Amino acid sequence: MKLFNKLIIVSIIFLTINCFAQDVPKTPAGNRVKEVVELLNGTSSYELGDYINNQYAAEFKDAFPVETHKGMIERTQTMFGKVSVTEITKSTQNEISIVLKSEMKDAWLNFTLQVEKDEPHRIVSMGFRPGSPPSDNAKNTDTPFSNLDELHQYLIERTKDNEFSGTVLIAKNGDPIFQEAYGFASKRLKILNKVDTKFNLGSINKIFTNVAITQLMEKG
């Protein structure tokens, strides 16, 4: 089962989580985290540009153009959709680290944020990085299959329901033990996917740029 729990190529686990499944501390940093999550989820009373101009500390805000700051939030919205707070990994009055779960797919984000020590506790740094399920979640999550044959049947069903199209590779100790293609490379031309079909990356490459930018921002 350990092998299957680590399958990340296709999203196979669907969870329903409340907006704040984990209570966020009522600290200056915690309050700012709630505000940023609301911005990500489109439920904030703030307009994004106004929030950046008024709630980011001058040194952090002026390190990049406002459009760059907005772009980081907007790219995260595009890639992850609505998110929920599922774990608090660090919390002090002025610094907090949390784990966010996408509500539209099996994807996780590590989010860190620091605020000024004095009121109004504006944001002095923050960053998003790709994450993994919290340890408790990883232990308790069941997969819908227990061997490769069941996995194959599961993906066939998902393909029939138009929920998946692509290729899947599973390796153990560096050696492939499962490799199959599903669905169409082109429905219009009736061309099936193959294991060597080339796919456009689309927006997935943006996450690497996003990580690099936020690491540089964290370092000043």
Provide the pLDDT for residue 137: 53
**How far apart (Å, rounded) are the C-alpha atoms in residues 5 and 100?**
19
For residues 153 and 181, the answer to whether their CB atoms sit within 8 Å is no
Instruction: Give the predicted TM-score (pTM) of the model.
Output: 0.58
- From the CA atom positions of the chain, what is the Rg in Å? 20
Structure tokens at 62: 């002026």
Provide the pLDDT for residue 168: 94
Q: Flag whether pLDDT at 9 surpasses 60.
A: no
Query: Per-residue confidence at 98, pLDDT binned at 50, 70, 90?
Result: very high
Beta bridge mates, 110 = 99, 129
* Higher per-residue pLDDT: 195 or 162: 195
**How far apart (Å, rounded) are the C-alpha atoms in residues 5 and 105?**
16
Structure tokens at 47: 């307009």
Q: Flag whether pLDDT at 17 surpasses 90.
A: no
Question: Mean pLDDT throughout 119-143?
Answer: 76
Q: How many C-beta atoms lie closer than 10 Å to residue 153's C-beta?
A: 12
CATH architecture of the domain covering 28-138+204-218: Roll (3.10)
What are the residue ranges of CATH 3.10.450.280 in the chain?
28-138+204-218
